[in-house]
Amino acid sequence: MVDRRLHSLSLRIYYEDTDFSGAVYHASYLRFFERGRTEWLRDLGVDQGTAFEARPPVTFVVTRLSIAYRRPAHMDDVITIRTQLVELRGASLVLAQRASRGAEVVAEAEVTVASLSGGRPVRLPRAIAEGLSTVTPSSQA
């Protein structure tokens, strides 16, 4: 059974994720958080391909992103990306995400994702909005 309130994804840190000092390069967290969002949607039964197949096609763009780096993660660490819906709007959603190594938080993010078609905001595709409607927004991840 999927816990619809809080999604977790474990990832191992590889050499390619780190900088010259052996710590995770700051931009790597963008990829980690993206994977967390994608797997969260997949576990909710949301097929993102549905949006690309719509006519006209719908794309998703990050319109706002705020990351706080708390502690360094290093090569071979296993981190857990937690993703939680904060707010669902007609054409966008706000997510809280947290990267943790065990009980220690290494980074936190708040992400706003918008639904666009032809460069303009559009309502989330019906299939995706229905999948997201089963999740109760919360203010904490």
Q: Specify whether 19 is catalytic.
A: yes
The C-alpha angle with vertex 129 and arms to 56 and 45, in degrees rounded to 5, equals 100
Query: By the 8 A CB rule, do 80 and 100 touch?
Result: yes
Question: From residue 48, how far is each of 6, 33, 64, 71 by CA, in Å?
Answer: 19, 16, 20, 32
Under DSSP, the state recorded for 125 is: P
Sign of CA pseudo-dihedral 32, 34, 83, 138: positive
> Which member of 3, 19, 43, 47 is catalytic?
19
Residues carrying an active site annotation: 19
